[in-house]
Structure 1
Amino acid sequence: MRIEHVEKLTAAELSGSDFSFDVEEEAVAPFDGPTLSRTVPVTRYTKRYELEADLVETTDPAQSLIVVARSDGQVAGYILVSRAWNHCAQVDDFAVARSHRRQGLARALMDEAVRWTRERGLQTIRLETQSNNVPACRFYERYGFRLGGFDRYLYSAIPSQPRPEVALFWYLRVSPSPPSGS
């Protein structure tokens, strides 16, 4: 497994990897954090995301980060992070291929995001996921993220949703890196 910082990530690079996940339970209100308080079982289905032609291109490494994990030439996982308007680091996208889950790859990618955040003197990482992605929510909880809010209408206009989804917002406080020479 090779983890590398890259300047661009495209849908073509991701096309050979399966980033779908199975939904067997969903988080339900109340979403008053700091962790998920309740989940309910649902009829199992698979969630797939459509990939955009060009996901992202980094033009300024001080403002954004793209980290890709590759195995045998295929993308095994990636994380996209940017500096948000409110001086937080924001995880814009994050995925691990099915064939590489539960091997520590998500943690390794998130560690890179934390390192980048600290190096820039930012103190918080923010990300959003959906109420039907309970495995991701559990990972964020184990990593130390706290549930900070929700939006039940964010996905309501998407016609292809099999079930209503609630956007869940997670936050991780990080300590900035000490100044050089300390």
Structure 2
Amino acid sequence: MIVKMTQLNKDDFKKANEGFFVSGRIIPKYENEIWTYTEEIFTEPYYKEYEDEEIDISYIDEPDKAVFLYYDDKNCVGQIKLCINWNGYALIEDIAVAKDWRQKGIGTILLQKAIEWAIQNNLAGVMLETQDVNISACRFYAKNNFIIGGVDNMLYSTFQTAHEKAVFWYYKF
């Protein structure tokens, strides 16, 4: 069951945020105005997790923002955080599925909810950013008909993750 975040369930925000093993990376290539990629599999995977963030309660009340939570019975096991981006796309700022619930279709259901929300808001499509080393996420977006729209090799240059490249994925209507 997917429900919009409200004052009553806002404490469930980030419950699904769990780390993952980095087993490789994609290597994007831009040629003839088309992005493609190959994969490099690492010999030694490593564990990565994102920092928890506090929920901005404006996502509850403002019509150009939303958080949808996925529940299995009473447990929040997935979430997607969206806003209307300056370029006329719905920006997926965060999508997370608890590790024991991955590979069960929850992420796809959450993406479909984002697409539905973008259509309801008369947007051009859906976009998001992930890192080249999040190979599972990149495969997931490609499987769900997202295409690479650009790569930024400087976005993380001042962080410990400076070796990572930002990959921007788009689902255009």
* Shorter-chain TM-score tier: 0.7 to 0.9
Q: Which residue of 1 aligns with 2:123?
A: 122
Q: Which residue of 1 aligns with 2:27?
A: 28
1:165 alignment partner AA: E
Give me the whole-angstrom Cα distance separating, in 2, the residues matched to 1:23 and 1:17.
18
| CA distances 1:121-153 after superposition (whole Å, capped 9, x unpaired) | 112211100001111111111111110100011
Q: Following superposition of structure 1 onto structure 2, how do residues 128-167 of structure 1 map, counting pairs within 5 Å?
A: 128-159=129-160, 161=161, 164-167=163-166
Give me the whole-angstrom Cα distance separating, in 2, the residues matched to 1:98 and 1:55.
24
| Residues 71/137 of structure 1: CA separation in 2 closer, same or farther (3 Å cut) | same
- Give structure 2 stretches of 5+ with no counterpart: none
Q: Which residue of 2 aligns with 1:171?
A: 170
| Residues 89/18 of structure 1: CA separation in 2 closer, same or farther (3 Å cut) | closer
- Give structure 1 stretches of 5+ with no counterpart: 175-182
Deviation of the 1:54 alpha carbon:
2.5
2:123 alignment partner AA: L
Q: Which residue of 2 aligns with 1:179?
A: none
1:88 alignment partner AA: Y
Assess if the C-alpha contact under 8 Å between 2:14 and 2:79 holds in 1: no
Q: Which residue of 2 aligns with 1:44?
A: 45
| Residues 115/29 of structure 1: CA separation in 2 closer, same or farther (3 Å cut) | closer
Assess if the C-alpha contact under 8 Å between 1:149 and 1:170 holds in 2: yes
1:104 aligns with 2:105: yes
Q: What fraction of aligned residue pairs are identical, expressed as a percent?
A: 28
Deviation of the 1:13 alpha carbon:
3.0
| Residues 46/72 of structure 1: CA separation in 2 closer, same or farther (3 Å cut) | farther
Aligned length: 169
Moved more, 13-22 or 75-84: 13-22
Root-mean-square deviation over aligned CA pairs: 2.2
Ranges of 4+ aligned residues in structure 1 off by more than 4 Å: 14-18, 31-36
